[in-house]
Chains A and B, each alone.
Chain A
Amino acid sequence: MKALVACPHCDLLQYEVLLAPRATAHCARCGTPLYRRAPCGPERTLAYTLAAAVCFVLANAFPLVALEVSGQRNSTTLLGAIVDLAGQGMELVAALVFATIWLAPLLQLAGLAYLLRARLRVRHARAEIQVLRLLAAIRPWSMVEVFVLGVLVALAKLMHMAQVLPGVALWSLAALMVLLAAALNAFDEHDFWELAAGDEVPQVAGDQAVVQ
């Protein structure tokens, strides 16, 4: 029995087809991407995730940018900048920044590592389903790439009044941005749901639907 997919954007019912690696299936009516085959296996995805985790640690351990004006030097770290913002009476904004550039990427990395470890060992349970759900919910709120662009803009504004020295953390963040995107792209969510289900899930039974 072939599995059915309903387009999330237009509700068109379609049969699932087998895809080649890297291929994406699009909705026949509105063109929305429906599902895809990941470009590589879980081992490679885990490697991206671990490399990204190393970058996350580096991005927190070292200063992000340093500023030098006539011998005076001032530098800030990722978390230091957020704490500073909260100290100016901007707790809500600081919380948003913390959530989008620190907490969300960290949860993404932890979630991916947890799932991939489980994937390499085969079976699935309730906990994995919760983590998958969490990953999907976090995704729009993880904004490392926007932050990296923000650093560039801030540096451009400061260039004229001081000497600006990019720190180790800035390069680490840029690498984190690339590796996190690679890990998320390589992660095969479709495959995971299929495994999470096992064989116990009933297909939609009793429908002689005429499906395009």
Chain B
Amino acid sequence: MSEAPAFVTAARLGLASCPDCALVQRLGADGRGRCPRCHAFVTLRKPNSLPRTWAFLLAATVLYPIANLLPIMRSGNLFNAQDDTILSGIAYLWVSGSWPLALVVFVASVLVPLLKIIALSWLALSVQRHARRHRRQRTHLYRLVELVGRWSMLDIFVVTLLSALVQLNSLAEVSAGPGALAFAGVVVFTMLASHSFDPRLIWDGAGRDD
């Protein structure tokens, strides 16, 4: 790797690719256009990418501790009632011997949303500070965030099933708790945040030296 090649971006030539059909086209003077192939609205970068990303991240950050503190599931029988948070549900799986599943749920419900919020915040910050380093790694991180985000829905599905199944003549009953709503909010908002972020911003301003 002696000489870095000169890279030409679409934006530098006043071109942009259609967000739907990927056709490369010339934009108008105002940086907007209509795709001649599929009539989608084309802009140079996702409009208001950073403010929207931050707004969704803020919503997710506010909901994350609430989702972890409030009970996601309420179970009860004739003698006692019990509130389960995400973490106590994981603990139950762990002590009952299903530790591989406990690990999976921990990663999907606790770790993934948290790391997603941190990773997207870091990406947005690094773009705002015009960071020049690790552009490739940051793009990879963005791809990873997009890929794993959906798995956070796991606990919502578990609660859905348990509350439908355990309705045994009021001997034992399980229902969803308010934590489930907050948690669903975290999943949706982090997914919207990663959709709003435009990874091309990471590369804007990259010259031949990076």
Contacts and interface: CB of A to CB of B under 8 A. Distances in A.
B38 interface: yes
A154 B150 contact: no
A176 B199 CA distance: 33
Interface in B1-40: 5-11, 13, 15-17, 20-26, 36-40
Contacts of B7: 12, 29, 212
Main secondary structure of the interface of B (DSSP, over half): helix
Interface stretch (A36-44, A80-88, A178-186): A80-88
A9 B45 CA distance: 11
A17 to B, nearest CB: 15
A5 B153 contact: no
B154 A5 contact: no
A157 interface: yes
25 contacts: A4-B15, A6-B15, A6-B17, A9-B200, A9-B202, A9-B203, A10-B139, A10-B206, A12-B9, A30-B136, A31-B139, A69-B168, A76-B161, A82-B160, A84-B163, A93-B180, A101-B157, A150-B153, A150-B155, A156-B101, A157-B158, A159-B96, A193-B38, A204-B24, A209-B8
A21 interface: no
B162 interface: yes
A75 B139 CA distance: 46
Nearest 8 pairs of A and B residues by beta carbon: A150-B157, A81-B164, A6-B10, A6-B17, A10-B203, A154-B161, A11-B9, A76-B164
Interface residues of B, number: 74
B180 A90 contact: yes
Interface of A: 3-13, 29-32, 35, 64-65, 67, 69, 72, 74-76, 80-82, 84-85, 88, 90, 92-94, 96-97, 100-101, 129, 132-133, 136, 140-141, 143, 146-147, 149-154, 156-161, 193, 196-197, 201-202, 204, 207, 209-212
A48 B168 CA distance: 39
A10 B202 contact: yes
A157 B181 CA distance: 21
Contact of B164 (A12, A31, A80, A146): A80
Contact of B200 (A10, A85, A129, A157): A10
Nearest to A136: B20
Residue from B6, B21, B136, B140 whose CB has the most chain A CB atoms within 10 Å: B21
Interface in B123-160: 135-136, 139-140, 142-143, 146, 149-151, 153-160
A171 to B, nearest CB: 16
A212 B5 contact: yes
Given A150-B157, A212-B8, A32 B203 contact: no
Interface string B91-130: 0110010100100110000000000000000000000000
Residue from A3, A9, A12 whose CB has the most chain B CB atoms within 10 Å: A9
Contacts of A93: 156, 160, 176, 180-181, 184
Contacts of A147: 153, 157
A211 B8 contact: yes
A6 B158 CA distance: 41
